[in-house]
A and B are shown apart, each in its own frame.
Chain A
Amino acid sequence: MPWLTTIGALPLVGAAAVWLLPSRSARPARVTALVASLITLLATLAMAYRFDTDTAGTHQFTEQHRWIAEFGVNYAVGIDGLGLVMIVLSALLVPICLLAGWNQVEGSSARHYFGLILVLETFMIGVFAARDLFLFYVLFEAMLIPVYFLIGLFGGAQRRYAAVKFLLYSLLGGLVMLVAVIYLYVEGPGGPDGFLISELTGLEFSSELTGRLLFCAFFFAFAIKAPMWPVHTWLPDAAAQAPPGVAVLLVGVLDKVGTFGMLTLCLPLFPEASRWATPVVLALAVVSVLYGGLLAIGQVDLLRMIAYTSVSHFGFIVIGVFAMTSSAQSGAALYMLNHGFSTGALFLVAGMLIARRGSARIADYGGLQRSTPLLAGTFLLAGLSSLALPGLSSFISEFLVLVGTYGRYPGVAVVAAGGMVLAALYILLTYQRMFTGPVKDFASGWRDMNLREGLVMAPLIAVIVALGFFPKPVLDVLNPVADRTLQQVSMTDPAPTAAGEESTTEGTQP
């Protein structure tokens, strides 16, 4: 059974159904979209169940069909452990976001809102599954279209500016990458399979400079997407203007394509250049960690604040990818998943608050812990996950990145660890401003979290807590990917410096 094609096509079918509905009211569109996304989720979970953990480092569920033979393009898909995790993340977040945006759009344009989100889901699943570089590129660019329209049509007051800015940045990165994609094809073996990623891995480039330039082009596109300092400035605008559900998919999943690309394309395709570029990349990533944290502290707008925390978190992920140790890379891959949940939860609670207050200004809130304790508690829990509180999921990933990095780049790890303190500041300052203090008049008639909102938050909270205590199932499918990637870049883990000490198994007394 072609699992990946099926799972990728399901949302598209759902989108078609949404648009073809005879009724012009919002309700059938919502229900259809939710059902389609739930079926997709079930199919994804079934696929995950059939995934062979022991060979998580190799691609499974592969399919390959000729697409444009004379140009070497195939429809080739397949997933390793990381691809699986990212697809599960997408399939899980989409129904949650649909439910969160249930009353976002009324009337006949609801069809467009829900249809576009389903189209976006197809592209997201596709981009994580693509095993043909050209296919990857096409989906990488195609993702922009639904997001552009979702922000531009359904966003906040400055939605058009934000949508255009988002598009310009992304196109710029995409175009630079496209040139590199085509050049890479020319450098590669060519033929009818010339764009297959497997064919392009381990190439001998005509010159060292060629490899490095190609790396830079790919990295530039992924850095914009990730988003890294200094090409991050589109994100706060886009995230603040997008509807909350779209912001979750944008920051939680779409941006991960950047770090996903670094880990699964930059490193394997250009190992020499990756090692060459590591110092600069790490420097940029450390700046992202601290800069994003400081900027988050200084924001007056709740959504922009959350967007800047993501700049900081993506800095951690990039550090983990380029530290080139197995624990740091596993941590980075796990971070991609955890960040989707914790930041997603933050955006969604923010959306619930904004829907009540009609403002995203942090200063417009206050004293909400008394009037709406459930919303306050959920915000705090999501925030604690964002600041990587031990016991919650993000801690494991952030900790692995830091610990794994220290062995090779102690300075980077120590400086980046400063991001921990900044994280405590931006979360707790915001909580203090919005939720503590005397009860304000504006909140007197507020209802606390309703059933629909509870259904939106419950799965996220459950995952955040569960993965904090028991991350093993996810790490088991991510570890082989990290091992394979390290092999591809010809790096090995640094050995413990204390002489004669092996990496011991735990739990034994001397």
Chain B
Amino acid sequence: MTALPSTLVAGTPDAVSLAASGAVQERAWLLVALPLAGAAILLLGGRRLNRWGHWLAVALSWSAFAWGVLLFWSLRGQAPDDRSRSLHLFTWVPAGNFQLDAGLLLDPLSVAFVLMVTFVASLIHVYSVAYMEHDPDRRRFFAYMNLFVASMLLLVLADSYVLLYVGWEGVGLASYLLIGFWNHNPDYAAAAKKAFIANRVGDLGLTIAIMIMFATFGTVTYSGVLSGLDGASEGTLTAIGLMLLLGACGKSAQFPLQSWLGDAMAGPTPVSALIHAATMVTAGVYLVVRSGPIYESAPTAQLLVVIVGAVTLVFGAIVGCAKDDIKKALAASTMSQIGYMMLAAGLGPVGYIFAIFHLLTHGFFKAGMFLGAGSVMHGMNDSVDLRGFGRLNGVMKVTWLTFAAGWLAILGVPPFSGFFSKDKIIETAFATGDGARPWLVGSVALVGAGLTAFYMSRMFFLTFHGRKRWPEDAHPHESPLLMTVPMVILAVGSVALGGFLAFDHTFLNWLEPATGTAHEEDPVLAAIVIQGATLALVAAGIALAWARYWRAEVPATAPAGNPLTVAARNDLYQDQVNEVLLMQSGQYLTRSLVFVDNRGVDGLVRGSAAAVGGLAGRLRRWQTGFVRSYATSMTAGVIAVVLGVVAVRI
């Protein structure tokens, strides 16, 4: 498992291709610059770009993908241990003892992200051309989408925590703008703000982590921080790890900062597919994996990563079982799947690889299912109510089949993509740690697989099978090619990407130089037993969902349900908790401070001024003579000055 790959170097590269690959790598900044230019042109270009601006955005996104492929190819041509290159761009913040250059880090991890992000984003750009066709603000939409791609690429390519932070907030901004894209609906505007604020709380963690890093290591680059870990105490590293985790929780909607993701479904569905499923929300996992050595030196922080992942995994799965809104159910599922990745990221080098592996496959199948949901909405007058669908498999064949591919992939049914990534996470969870820990963490991951099977099958059956429950005005139809082709391509990825990357340990070998050598331990149970248990639970989940949501009659309105169902429908009361803990007390504090500031602080100063000379009171009477009041205060001032000078002289 740990053998270094030797077959990847295809022949000896000649001087020409070496030079070419150098040129490709040196211009890696184009990856960020191309979509960024697209965003700027579309925003500044005005209405005259309305007719073709979206195609410019599509082209720039694809060109970023093309450059990513060239970059991948050039790195692949180098020996595995040389596949990491730091690219200096310019001197960014030279300030006293804080010196920071803007630079990019090209390595297997960042390039894997580049490929996935640009490919999925480009497909979704194409899909959006049709999906947003009738929106008067389509140009603005595509500008924000390009801004997102640029920021996301900056996030994964940065070579320091501060430049990562720029991309980090850039994607947050794009997310804010796109969630609130239809902000004439007040609820959507509130959802956008909520997402930004929750992320800002996470950013606080990231900021503090960077502050500790600089005070400890005197630098904030990955290379500087990660190579100096030996000199830092475990307490310091734990603090850094926890603060980074807080940042990751905000961005990746992990417990306890998860509340924004469900509301974020207010954005147009392609946005949900790209930002809130495939790419941005996985940035927290990237951050933890990138900072892996810190967590390896700080076991407490690492354990907390596992706990956060496990809690979120179950949280999202429970919520997903009760949602009747197809997008919110998918959002809960995203949360839960990222919980899996986070859990894996807390399991050390082996876990990193499967976390990123699952992240990539998830990017495909979840984006595919979101696009499928968008296609269903497109055909059903923008309805998202699962109880108003049913038996759509006949009228929307492509959507049905592509969604089915995603469904089987997320369930982890062999040989679909999820099988190779998620089952490995469950196995690794059973293999890491001492005593009861592997049993505990492994069981949670295992139960999560069963829950996933139930809620995803529920969603799938409610939408495409069972009886027709369409509203009377619905005339469902298949979506145009611009939408279905991206869905088909993503479905191919859902089917085959996992097997392709797992074959001959291709992905493991690719990523190992970046994430550290993976020593796979034996799980506490035999791998075959775990796989069998997983499949049994998945089968049980499907069967239960089949009985209740395919075969049985599904009421048009949700039945009352037991307390757990009600709680799950209400997102386990996350908003109510935040409301009581944060918002009400915050509003009380703000209001009382405003009162104090007007009456207290200001009044005190005014009062003392009046007490000193009675000046304030009299001035109020003299306000009719405006210039006179000035003359008076100046005279008083001059007298005071003379007195002061005399006092000094004496």
Q: Are the C-beta atoms of B637 and A479 separated by less than 8 Å?
A: no
Point out which of A149, A172, A232, A479 has the most chain B C-beta atoms below 10 A from its C-beta.
A172
Point out which of A160, A436, A510 has the most chain B C-beta atoms below 10 A from its C-beta.
A436
Determine how close the nearest CB of chain A comes to the CB of B149; give it in whole angstroms.
15
Check if B325 is an interface residue, CB within 8 A of chain A: no
Q: Are the C-beta atoms of A406 and B645 separated by less than 8 Å?
A: no
Stretch at the interface among B201-209, B267-275, B428-436, B499-507: B201-209
Docked Cα-Cα span, A263 to B320, in Å, equals: 56
Q: Are the C-beta atoms of B96 and A496 separated by less than 8 Å?
A: no
Check if A186 is an interface residue, CB within 8 A of chain B: yes
- Binary flags per residue of A364-405, CB closer than 8 Å to B gives 1, else 0: 000101100100010000001000011100011001101110
Check if B551 is an interface residue, CB within 8 A of chain A: no
- Name the residue of chain A whose CB is nearest to the CB of B176: A428
Q: B residues near A, CB below 8 A?
A: 43, 84-86, 88, 90-101, 103, 140, 159-160, 162, 165-166, 168-170, 173, 176, 180, 183-186, 188-190, 193, 196-197, 200-201, 203-204, 207-208, 210-212, 214-219, 221, 223-224, 226-228, 230-232, 236, 589-591, 593-594, 597, 601-602, 604-605, 609, 615-616, 619-620, 623, 626, 629-630, 633, 636-637, 640-641, 644-645, 647-648
Check if A459 is an interface residue, CB within 8 A of chain B: no
Point out which of B91, B216, B224 has the most chain A C-beta atoms below 10 A from its C-beta.
B224
Q: Are the C-beta atoms of B609 and A432 separated by less than 8 Å?
A: no
Q: Are the C-beta atoms of A476 and B216 separated by less than 8 Å?
A: no
Determine how close the nearest CB of chain A comes to the CB of B223; give it in whole angstroms.
5
Within 8 A of B (CB), among A221-256: 229-233
Docked Cα-Cα span, A470 to B100, in Å, equals: 12
Q: A501-B217, A506-B103, A506-B219 are in contact. Are A475 and B173 (CB under 8 A)?
A: no
Q: Would you call the interface of chain A mostly helix, strand, loop, or mixed?
A: helix
Task: List residues of chain A with CB within 8 A of the CB of B165.
Answer: 390
Q: A400-B93, A505-B99 are in contact. Are A436 and B189 (CB under 8 A)?
A: yes
Q: Are the C-beta atoms of B648 and A182 separated by less than 8 Å?
A: yes
Q: Are the C-beta atoms of B615 and A168 separated by less than 8 Å?
A: yes
Point out which of A428, A438, A505 has the most chain B C-beta atoms below 10 A from its C-beta.
A428
Docked Cα-Cα span, A349 to B154, in Å, equals: 31
Stretch at the interface among A5-13, A78-86, A93-101, A415-423: A415-423
Q: Are the C-beta atoms of B97 and A327 separated by less than 8 Å?
A: yes
Task: List residues of chain B with CB within 8 A of the CB of A233.
Answer: 597, 601-602, 605
Check if A483 is an interface residue, CB within 8 A of chain B: yes
- Binary flags per residue of A462-499, CB closer than 8 Å to B gives 1, else 0: 00000001111001101100110000000001111111
- Name the residue of chain B whose CB is nearest to the CB of A183: B648
Within 8 A of B (CB), among A72-111: none
Check if A341 is an interface residue, CB within 8 A of chain B: no
- Name the residue of chain A whose CB is nearest to the CB of B40: A465
Q: A298-B593, A493-B96, A506-B101 are in contact. Are A420 and B626 (CB under 8 A)?
A: no
Q: Are the C-beta atoms of B184 and A498 separated by less than 8 Å?
A: no
Find A437's partner among B183, B609, B620 (CB 8 Å cutoff).
B183
Find A506's partner among B100, B232, B605, B641 (CB 8 Å cutoff).
B100
Task: List residues of chain B with CB within 8 A of the CB of A291.
Answer: 593, 597
Determine how close the nearest CB of chain B comes to the CB of A178; give it in whole angstroms.
6
Docked Cα-Cα span, A395 to B92, in Å, equals: 13
Check if A157 is an interface residue, CB within 8 A of chain B: no
Q: Are the C-beta atoms of B86 and A503 separated by less than 8 Å?
A: no
Check if A507 is an interface residue, CB within 8 A of chain B: yes
Q: Are the C-beta atoms of B633 and A168 separated by less than 8 Å?
A: yes
Q: A400-B93, A428-B197 are in contact. Are A437 and B189 (CB under 8 A)?
A: yes
Docked Cα-Cα span, A425 to B183, in Å, equals: 17
Q: Are the C-beta atoms of A495 and B597 separated by less than 8 Å?
A: no
Q: Would you call the interface of chain B mostly helix, strand, loop, or mixed?
A: helix
Q: A186-B648, A230-B605, A421-B204 are in contact. Are A402 and B211 (CB under 8 A)?
A: yes
Task: List residues of chain A with CB within 8 A of the CB of B88.
Answer: 506-507
Q: Which 8 A-B pairs have the closest CB atoms?
A: A326-B96, A498-B231, A496-B218, A436-B189, A327-B98, A406-B211, A233-B602, A436-B183
Find A436's partner among B86, B184, B641 (CB 8 Å cutoff).
B184
Docked Cα-Cα span, A414 to B93, in Å, equals: 21
Task: List residues of chain A with CB within 8 A of the CB of B591.
Answer: 298
Docked Cα-Cα span, A369 to B210, in Å, equals: 35
Task: List residues of chain A with CB within 8 A of the CB of B99.
Answer: 503, 505-506
Find B95's partner among A331, A470, A496, A498 (CB 8 Å cutoff).
A331
Q: Are the C-beta atoms of A171 and B645 separated by less than 8 Å?
A: no
Within 8 A of B (CB), among A268-286: none
30 contacts between A and B (CB under 8 A): A164-B629, A168-B633, A178-B641, A179-B644, A179-B645, A182-B648, A233-B601, A327-B97, A370-B184, A390-B162, A402-B211, A403-B211, A404-B97, A413-B208, A414-B211, A420-B207, A436-B188, A437-B186, A472-B90, A472-B94, A476-B94, A496-B215, A496-B219, A498-B228, A502-B218, A504-B224, A506-B88, A506-B224, A508-B86, A509-B84
Task: List residues of chain B with CB within 8 A of the CB of A172.
Answer: 609
Docked Cα-Cα span, A153 to B626, in Å, equals: 9
Task: List residues of chain A with CB within 8 A of the CB of B629.
Answer: 160, 164
- Binary flags per residue of A140-183, CB closer than 8 Å to B gives 1, else 0: 00000000110011000000110110011101101100110011
Q: A390-B166, A506-B99, A506-B224 are in contact. Are A295 and B94 (CB under 8 A)?
A: no
Docked Cα-Cα span, A421 to B200, in Å, equals: 6
Q: Are the C-beta atoms of A417 and B204 separated by less than 8 Å?
A: yes
Other A-B pairs, 16, CB within 8 Å; known A410-B215, A508-B223? A168-B609, A182-B648, A295-B597, A298-B594, A327-B98, A330-B95, A331-B95, A334-B95, A389-B169, A390-B169, A391-B170, A400-B95, A432-B189, A436-B188, A437-B184, A496-B216
Task: List residues of chain B with CB within 8 A of the CB of A425.
Answer: 197
Determine how close the nearest CB of chain B comes to the CB of A17; give it in whole angstroms.
24
Task: List residues of chain B with CB within 8 A of the CB of A164.
Answer: 619, 623, 629, 633
Check if A325 is an interface residue, CB within 8 A of chain B: yes
Q: Are the C-beta atoms of A414 and B208 separated by less than 8 Å?
A: yes
Q: Are the C-beta atoms of B96 and A175 separated by less than 8 Å?
A: no
Check if A28 is an interface residue, CB within 8 A of chain B: no
Docked Cα-Cα span, A163 to B625, in Å, equals: 13
Q: A410-B215, A496-B218 are in contact. Are A507 and B633 (CB under 8 A)?
A: no
Docked Cα-Cα span, A7 to B166, in Å, equals: 38
Task: List residues of chain A with CB within 8 A of the CB of B196.
Answer: 424, 428
Check if A297 is an interface residue, CB within 8 A of chain B: yes
Q: A420-B204, A502-B218 are in contact. Are A479 and B597 (CB under 8 A)?
A: no
Determine how close the nearest CB of chain B comes to the CB of A409; give it in whole angstroms.
11
Docked Cα-Cα span, A291 to B596, in Å, equals: 11
Docked Cα-Cα span, A182 to B633, in Å, equals: 21
Task: List residues of chain A with CB within 8 A of the CB of B623.
Answer: 160-161, 164
Docked Cα-Cα span, A367 to B185, in Å, equals: 9
Determine how close the nearest CB of chain A comes to the CB of B375; give it in whole angstroms.
28
- Name the residue of chain A whose CB is nearest to the CB of B601: A230
Check if A38 is an interface residue, CB within 8 A of chain B: no
Check if A62 is an interface residue, CB within 8 A of chain B: no
Find B605's partner among A231, A431, A475, A502 (CB 8 Å cutoff).
A231
Find A175's partner among B100, B168, B200, B640 (CB 8 Å cutoff).
B640
Q: A160-B626, A183-B648, A230-B601 are in contact. Are A299 and B200 (CB under 8 A)?
A: no
Docked Cα-Cα span, A230 to B607, in Å, equals: 14
Q: Are the C-beta atoms of A496 and B217 separated by less than 8 Å?
A: yes
Task: List residues of chain B with CB within 8 A of the CB of A502.
Answer: 218
Task: List residues of chain B with CB within 8 A of the CB of A428.
Answer: 176, 193, 196-197
Q: Are the C-beta atoms of B223 and A182 separated by less than 8 Å?
A: no
Check if A192 is an interface residue, CB within 8 A of chain B: no
Check if A439 is an interface residue, CB within 8 A of chain B: yes
Q: Are the C-beta atoms of B98 and A403 separated by less than 8 Å?
A: yes
Q: A291-B593, A479-B95, A496-B218 are in contact. Are A507 and B197 (CB under 8 A)?
A: no
- Name the residue of chain B whose CB is nearest to the CB of A232: B601
Determine how close the nearest CB of chain A comes to the CB of B1; give it in whole angstroms.
25
Determine how close the nearest CB of chain A comes to the CB of B510; give it in whole angstroms.
18
Q: A298-B594, A509-B84 are in contact. Are A475 and B94 (CB under 8 A)?
A: yes
Docked Cα-Cα span, A404 to B389, in Å, equals: 57
